[in-house]
């Protein structure tokens, strides 16, 4: 089979049991000096070098088009140049590369294949033909052989070029960048659809589940329409697809230009007859809201450093606070504005986010701008020291977005807000196809606020201070308070249950632990805490406190039964060596955040709150 496009791919989930895709790439006019091919080392949206090419297990080339099953009579030699790049010997006329890709990464970032489904991102399976990045390409997605796969369908936002709706066959992309920005789910999946912004939206759900997809479609429609209303329009696209993998345990999402890949627990999906929104379903809706907001913010409004993407190496920017933090701010705000959750519910989510920030002393060491820049080696490669040494540009970025929103509202007497900032970013950069220069978001914010915000960004974005949430939130009649956690399971966002007296009598160790080997494995040992002062480290296995056996289940209880200031003896193994340390327990830190509605807010305060949590004002 030959193709009319300069680059043509064929992919077949050829050996589901061995998790192998067979892929061919035919280049009509290869480089006469020897055609180069390479696979990306990272996937946009997930800022870590992942070396996808390590999963290419066999590769060969022949002169001529892609003829399935034909022998490679005119074999062309292929030389590997580096971890991700191959060069074919010079040939005249079409050149076809044939290779196999091992796909056993059940995540939204790579590729996964077994006899229940085939899922892939183009960055994992489609080698890039150098010099042809801007050429249109086609991809023929083929059904695996055998009766087990007759019910499989193809779910993707890739535009069809001959394939029937949901069918195997030929799809197309305008260039390589587009080709790898449409993940593909192939399975006997469940499906629901709705319309938003005049565009069909599909929900494709792979996995064993029994969810009420009609309910999900209704709720997602409201979220999508809320975001469309904020920006004033949906970027041009034929359709949008939510690709969902429902599994036992797992969570994640990745944004694309006209779709997103989501992984959730099947219990997160709405069950039939569910009248309310459970915490789990609320989390899932927040994830959908987040990825959909990215359709504008990062997929089109993007840092200059991503234009174009260089997928061969890290792309550095200090702006991820804006692309992930502002998106994280609007994901839950979108649930409130769409009316899916009430104000109290929203404040709980806001409090949980702030709590995640307040529990990390690393926020005093690393600025959010630096966290963004170092995402590749720090945020995405967290170890046991993360709470002490780094800050999340997601959570603190969203706290900064909230503070910025309130700051702009205050500066303009409620005339303007962060909504105007993201709309301006869309109009000036996203819609125009221009990258946002470093510092560009800050400049737009200052322009919208009509005032100098350099101190704001100096302190909270480039510095390590906590934004003054209590002061700012008072404008909308909300109290921001920080208290001690009730226990290790306390996520924040709600008033505490423990009395001041109970808290005062509770000693703490300053650790996070997990069950392991009959003891309590220390996962993190917090800076400034009692355990660290006594010489305990992450990785240590605590087995006893004052001679009483300790495990994950009872460690906290044992410790909190002693008041702060008490010395206790802790027995722990470090590797295979038993150690005994004296620990002086400390009072519980104030690290748990709560937002509450002031009951006595005056009329203008209530109006400001309504303007914030209500639907976004239409674009002017």
Identity of the residue, 219 or 324, whose beta carbon is nearer to Zn ion in the bound complex:
324
User: In angstroms, what is the minimal distance from the CB of 107 to Zn ion?
Assistant: 15
What lies within 8 Å, CB to CB, of 159 at 6+ separation is 171, 172, 173, 238
What b/e readout covers 233-272, taking b as 16+ CB neighbours within 10 angstroms? ebbebeebbbbbbbbeebeebbbbbbbbbbbbbbebbbee
x/- site string to Zn ion, residues 396 to 425, per CB under 5 A?
A: ------------------------------
x/- site string to Zn ion, residues 438 to 477, per CB under 5 A?
A: ----------------------------------------
Identity of the residue, 324 or 419, whose beta carbon is nearer to Zn ion in the bound complex:
324
What residues numbered 323-362 form the site for Zn ion, per CB under 5 A?
324
What residues numbered 287-326 form the site for Zn ion, per CB under 5 A?
324
Other beta carbons within 10 Å of 2:
13
Identity of the residue, 25 or 244, whose beta carbon is nearer to Zn ion in the bound complex:
244
What residues numbered 13-32 form the site for Zn ion, per CB under 5 A?
none
Q: Quick one: tokens of 304?
A: 């200059």
Identity of the residue, 253 or 588, whose beta carbon is nearer to Zn ion in the bound complex:
253
What span, in angstroms and rounded, lies between the C-alpha atoms of 70 and 561?
A: 74
User: In angstroms, what is the minimal distance from the CB of 403 to Zn ion?
Assistant: 19
Identify the helix (H) or strand (E) that includes residue 369. Answer: helix 368-373
User: In angstroms, what is the minimal distance from the CB of 398 to Zn ion?
Assistant: 10
User: In angstroms, what is the minimal distance from the CB of 433 to Zn ion?
Assistant: 21
Identity of the residue, 61 or 400, whose beta carbon is nearer to Zn ion in the bound complex:
400
User: In angstroms, what is the minimal distance from the CB of 370 to Zn ion?
Assistant: 19
In the block, residue with structure tokens 């002086």:
584
User: In angstroms, what is the minimal distance from the CB of 201 to Zn ion?
Assistant: 19
Identity of the residue, 128 or 300, whose beta carbon is nearer to Zn ion in the bound complex:
300
x/- site string to Zn ion, residues 532 to 571, per CB under 5 A?
A: ----------------------------------------
- SS3 (DSSP) at 11: strand
Q: Which parts of 146-243 fold into alpha helices (H)?
A: 176-179, 213-231
User: In angstroms, what is the minimal distance from the CB of 50 to Zn ion?
Assistant: 17
Q: Do 298 and 292 contact (CB within 8 A), yes or no?
A: no
- Nearest residue to Zn ion by CB is 324
- Cis amide bond preceding 308, omega within 30: yes
User: In angstroms, what is the minimal distance from the CB of 301 to Zn ion?
Assistant: 13
Q: Which parts of 56-126 fold into alpha helices (H)?
A: 122-125
What span, in angstroms and rounded, lies between the C-alpha atoms of 579 and 306?
A: 50
Identity of the residue, 324 or 486, whose beta carbon is nearer to Zn ion in the bound complex:
324
Q: Do 48 and 110 contact (CB within 8 A), yes or no?
A: no
Q: Do 577 and 380 contact (CB within 8 A), yes or no?
A: no
Identity of the residue, 293 or 526, whose beta carbon is nearer to Zn ion in the bound complex:
293
User: With contacts defined by CB under 5 A, how many residues of the chain interact with Zn ion?
Assistant: 1
Contact residues toward Zn ion (CB under 5 A) are 324
């Amino acid at each position: 089979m030959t193709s009319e496009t300069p680059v043509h791919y064929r992919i077949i989930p050829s050996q589901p049991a061995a998790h192998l895709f067979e892929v061919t790439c035919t280049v009509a006019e290869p480089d006469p000096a020897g055609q180069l091919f390479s696979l990306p080392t990272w996937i946009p949206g997930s800022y870590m070098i992942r070396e996808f090419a390590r999963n290419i297990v066999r590769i060969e080339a022949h002169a001529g088009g892609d003829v399935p099953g034909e022998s490679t009579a005119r074999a062309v030699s292929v030389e590997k140049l580096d971890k991700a790049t191959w060069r074919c010997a010079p040939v005249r006329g079409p050149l076809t590369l044939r290779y196999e890709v091992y796909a056993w990464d059940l995540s939204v970032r790579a590729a996964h294949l077994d006899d229940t489904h085939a899922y892939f991102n183009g960055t994992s399976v489609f080698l890039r033909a150098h010099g042809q990045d801007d050429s249109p390409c086609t991809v023929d997605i083929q059904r695996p052989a055998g009766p087990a796969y007759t019910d499989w369908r193809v779910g993707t936002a890739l535009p069809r070029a001959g394939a029937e709706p949901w069918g195997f066959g030929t799809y197309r992309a305008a260039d390589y960048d587009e080709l790898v920005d449409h993940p593909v789910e192939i399975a006997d999946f469940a499906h629901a659809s709705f319309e938003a912004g005049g565009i069909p939206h599909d929900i494709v759900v792979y996995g064993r589940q029994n969810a009420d997809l009609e309910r999900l479609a209704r709720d997602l429609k409201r979220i999508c329409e809320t975001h469309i209303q904020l920006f004033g329009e949906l970027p041009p696209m034929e359709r949008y697809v939510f690709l969902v993998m429902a599994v036992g345990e797992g969570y994640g999402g990745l944004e694309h230009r006209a779709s997103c890949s989501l992984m959730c627990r099947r219990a997160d999906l709405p069950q039939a007859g569910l009248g309310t929104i459970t915490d789990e379903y609320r989390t899932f809706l927040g994830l959908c809201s987040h990825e959909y907001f990215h359709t504008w913010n990062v997929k089109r409004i993007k840092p200059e450093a991503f234009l174009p993407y260089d997928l061969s190496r890290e792309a550095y920017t200090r702006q991820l606070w804006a692309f992930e933090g502002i998106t994280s701010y609007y994901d839950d705000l979108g649930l409130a504005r769409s009316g899916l959750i009430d104000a109290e519910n929203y404040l709980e989510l806001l409090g949980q986010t702030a709590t995640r920030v307040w529990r990390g002393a690393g926020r005093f060491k690393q600025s959010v701008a630096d966290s963004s820049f170092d995402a590749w080696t720090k945020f995405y490669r967290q170890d046991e020291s993360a709470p002490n040494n780094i800050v999340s540009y997601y959570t603190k970025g969203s706290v900064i977005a909230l503070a910025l929103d309130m700051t702009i509202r205050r500066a303009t007497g409620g005339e303007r807000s962060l909504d105007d900032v993201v709309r301006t970013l869309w109009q000036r950069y996203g819609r125009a196809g221009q990258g946002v220069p470093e510092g560009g978001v800050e400049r737009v914010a200052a322009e919208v606020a009509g005032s100098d915000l350099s101190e704001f960004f100096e302190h909270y974005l480039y510095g390590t201070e906590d934004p003054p949430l209590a002061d700012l939130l008072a404008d909308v009649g909300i109290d921001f308070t920080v208290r001690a956690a009730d226990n290790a399971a306390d996520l924040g966002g709600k008033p505490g249950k423990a009395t001041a007296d109970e808290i005062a009598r509770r000693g703490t160790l300053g650790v996070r632990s997990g069950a392991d080997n009959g003891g309590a494995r220390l996962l993190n040992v917090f800076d400034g805490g009692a355990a660290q002062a006594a010489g305990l480290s992450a990785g240590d296995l605590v087995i006893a406190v004052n001679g009483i056996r300790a495990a994950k289940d009872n460690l906290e209880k044992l410790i909190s039964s002693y008041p702060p200031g008490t010395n206790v003896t802790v027995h722990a193994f470090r590797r295979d060596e038993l150690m005994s340390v004296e620990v002086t327990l400390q009072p519980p830190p104030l690290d748990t955040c709560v937002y509450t509605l002031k009951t006595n807010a005056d009329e203008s305060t209530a109006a400001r709150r309504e303007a914030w949590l209500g639907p976004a004002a239409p674009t002017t």
